[in-house]
A and B are shown apart, each in its own frame.
Chain A
């Protein structure tokens, strides 16, 4: 791999973008919004516009052209970024699908919507109870419910698994598509979505599109052509879902997987091929919307629930850490009839997505839903205002770990592991790859951030001391439940 193909870190990218130097990143052409500078042509409201919300499951921000990636694998997404607003510092609330995605649709943190594990009760073989929004947090109102109340038709077209209807992701949707038993592709969800659009295009609609195409548990139906793989790679790996699962399990068991540099490059190349293929599918989707004449009255929100780890921290896959390869995700908002092409560098959170959408659409938000929302609308940023904030994230991952974290707007990050009280402090400005734990050197900062972190969770009603955090509780997937040791919580 040539030097300029080497992955650059997110922070580094941001710096380069700001300086106007660096590689061929598409985003270099995008002007940057400076706080305080009004963005002239953003109308006050997008009332009655349609909403298309797309989740490219497992897409790491650093692999998107408009976020600084050097391989041109996301031309469709980047084209939208060139006309829209690209939030270059968007941090997800969690590092795996179920908790992260439910934060978009409820506007609350995973600890509050409580879909933090696959089972709310785990007592195999007979009494395991699947987590479900209505059961766990019956008081929460979803984005689809609010839009439906405001006259929208609502359709979700997904790849199942982490966003399947059983968890309650279908709450408020007229139609919710997922194929049971699959980490499904947009090859299935896009046609279903388009079919539904054809029937509903003259109504006001909210369409949620999701696919697992970039995820480790999905391989393209047509197979890989290994377009980005090093010539002469010895094919120790082939890129299969089974291989990635085995690597994930090896990493969880041993704390690290054994990988050669060429293997890491191979997995990145496979990932890039998946991303490129997905982008092409998405192109077909947007082309059809254009053909239906919907673009002038449709808002697009493109994002991802979490990233994917390729050995940045000696492991593969996602969910079990909170490093930025997992929680730094793309967020692009494309507004109809607005040619912006702006990069907003302020740090924001996926918790802000729902209030932003409600704000843009100018819908009536019921009082209980208003109270529920933990994030803030990012609309001021679209008009040049400052929206930078400290952000919070968390993961409860299978029987392995329970982590909580925060990242300040000026680039300090604390990860707290509840089961062993381990603290990690990183200065993302100097150490974007999160390799030097500064807890000892920056003891006061770590202490104060820890207090902010705990205060945040306390403020959202989540008492981190109310239970013992013992690895072994609540596995996520059936295949992993077998080995899990059941313990009382």
Chain B
């Protein structure tokens, strides 16, 4: 409180000084004062967007975590504005990130699946708008979702230059491996900054280093930093399902998506019940990846300080979505629960302006672009759907966040599986990573998915709305969802969706274990009305999905 009051006093002093100069100064002084007017910051302010795919804010020091996983980010937070209640648009990376890059909900910007065409998204993106205003644009990307594209016919990785890489002068994919994983730190960004520090730039640093296989690219000593002593991964006792991304001790997607309700499945049966040590080990490796990535953030800030760029650069940290880490017995981002939806959003304004401000109002990724444009003094495009958060940042009376955060669970997990995972990964004879006993069933499952999700058909999805008290999830097609369900398939039918409407009391039941829709019909009615009204509005603005005869390319990683 005290800090906020003194801030606003300081602001008043600055404002009156500028005003005084405008009234009384010489023409040159007046011009200089006008130069500092907030509405033309785009003339000399750089922008760095750091996406930290899968980083959970509650696994950071600033989120109250007990392990010292993020000393650098914690330190930077002291000179930054932290949004403590930032909610993802969906549970999967490309779709959630495109919402932030375009300032539009997924169905409106058009990125709703893991199969894309060069031009399937026509919405304007952050770099595109900044380019209009004279920014050099660059990206250094190790989140493979934003760069790797797979041609299903030739089986080759191609350079598609789709919406993610559009509008960049430099779009850098290091293509380095550590072991089998390419989810390395984007250290090339440091060289890029050194070389381009005199230009006005927008730089997107997209690190995939926190994503599974957890800690696969972390150097050995740091990798085992948090491991339970003497632990051996439980999965080494079973058929090795980890395929082409990780090493034997790395928690990979391939094995994480076989853990349901605390049990590990092979041959469509639970073969193992996870112990607390097993869960701790997975979390330890996740945390090691976070710690390693945080070290890079430290280097990045050293570079910004050395070059003086910290004085005229706005740095946005955004983690796109989180990950489940055993809260409900699962370890992936399959559904819309809190560990998946809560993400990191932190903004360091040039020279630490608004330092230390903490904003507890609910916000979403679509707010990032309007907020950035507002700060830079660039007109906010009329087709943006997010809010300008600058009034909240400035602490203006009456400034509000998003009371109702709307969420599209799109595409379904099974939709991207049908497009790449089962078709091309599981069936690659050189990299078979499923038990031979599952072969026949998996082939049939893949065939069923491909029939359920025709190439030209709009993908199905679930919708949800979240307030600080409630989360309502509406399964739009429960029958189809159960038909295609991966958890139902891999658990041999044990796990199924039972309700088309789920209501969780986030305050009383933070792990969302109990669907309380039946007990709260009024709440359901009110939230459902809001959600369906939003949904209808989104349907009106929905971007076209597929043009006849169009070839689509695959984003090959979950």
A interface residues, Cβ below 8 angstroms from B: 421, 443-444, 447-448, 450-451, 454-455, 458, 464-468
- Bound Cα distance from A448 to B380, whole angstroms: 9
- B132: interface (CB < 8 Å): yes
- B219: interface (CB < 8 Å): no
Q: Which of B122, B133, B379 has the most CB of A within 10 A?
A: B379
Inside 8 A of B540's CB, which chain A residues have their CB?
465-468
Inside 8 A of A448's CB, which chain B residues have their CB?
379
Inside 8 A of A466's CB, which chain B residues have their CB?
540
Q: Which residues of chain B in 353-383 are interfacial with respect to chain A, using CB atoms and an 8 Å cutoff? A: 379-383
Asked whether, in the complex, the Cβ of A458 is within 8 Å of the Cβ of B541, the reply is: no
**Given A451-B381, A451-B382, A458-B382, A421 and B541 contact (CB-CB distance below 8 Å):** no
Asked whether, in the complex, the Cβ of B382 is within 8 Å of the Cβ of A444, the reply is: no
A-contact 0/1 string along B379-391, CB 8 Å cutoff: 1111100000000
Q: Which residue of A lies closest to B129 (CB)?
A: A447
- B131: interface (CB < 8 Å): yes
Partner of B541, one of A447, A451, A454, A468: A468
A-contact 0/1 string along B531-558, CB 8 Å cutoff: 0000000001110000000000000000
- Bound Cα distance from A427 to B131, whole angstroms: 21
- Bound Cα distance from A443 to B381, whole angstroms: 13
Asked whether, in the complex, the Cβ of B382 is within 8 Å of the Cβ of A443, the reply is: no
Asked whether, in the complex, the Cβ of B132 is within 8 Å of the Cβ of A444, the reply is: yes
Asked whether, in the complex, the Cβ of A447 is within 8 Å of the Cβ of B122, the reply is: no
- A-B pairs, 7 with minimum CB distance: A454-B382, A444-B132, A451-B379, A443-B132, A447-B132, A468-B540, A465-B541
- Bound Cα distance from A468 to B544, whole angstroms: 11
Q: How many B residues touch the partner, as a band? A: 10 to 19
- Bound Cα distance from A451 to B381, whole angstroms: 6
Inside 8 A of B122's CB, which chain A residues have their CB?
421
A-contact 0/1 string along B114-157, CB 8 Å cutoff: 00000000100000010111000000000000000000000000
Can you list 20 A-B pairs with a CB-CB distance of less than 8 A? A421-B122, A443-B132, A444-B133, A447-B129, A447-B132, A447-B381, A448-B379, A450-B381, A450-B382, A451-B380, A451-B381, A454-B382, A458-B382, A465-B382, A465-B383, A465-B541, A466-B540, A467-B540, A468-B541, A468-B542
**Given A467-B540, A468-B541, A447 and B379 contact (CB-CB distance below 8 Å):** yes
- Bound Cα distance from A18 to B129, whole angstroms: 39
- Bound Cα distance from A455 to B380, whole angstroms: 10
- Bound Cα distance from A369 to B71, whole angstroms: 65
Q: Which residue of B lies closest to A466 (CB)?
A: B540
Inside 8 A of A421's CB, which chain B residues have their CB?
122
B376 CB to closest chain A CB (Å) equals: 13
- Bound Cα distance from A249 to B42, whole angstroms: 48
Asked whether, in the complex, the Cβ of A455 is within 8 Å of the Cβ of B131, the reply is: no
Can you name 7 extra interface pairs (CB under 8 A) apart from A447-B132, A451-B381?
A443-B132, A451-B380, A454-B382, A454-B383, A455-B382, A465-B383, A467-B540
- Bound Cα distance from A488 to B129, whole angstroms: 34
Inside 8 A of A443's CB, which chain B residues have their CB?
131-132
Q: Which residue of A lies closest to B540 (CB)?
A: A468
A-contact 0/1 string along B259-286, CB 8 Å cutoff: 0000000000000000000000000000
- Bound Cα distance from A467 to B539, whole angstroms: 9
- Bound Cα distance from A458 to B383, whole angstroms: 12
- Bound Cα distance from A482 to B28, whole angstroms: 68
- Bound Cα distance from A443 to B124, whole angstroms: 12
Q: Which residue of B lies closest to A449 (CB)?
A: B379
- Bound Cα distance from A342 to B111, whole angstroms: 57
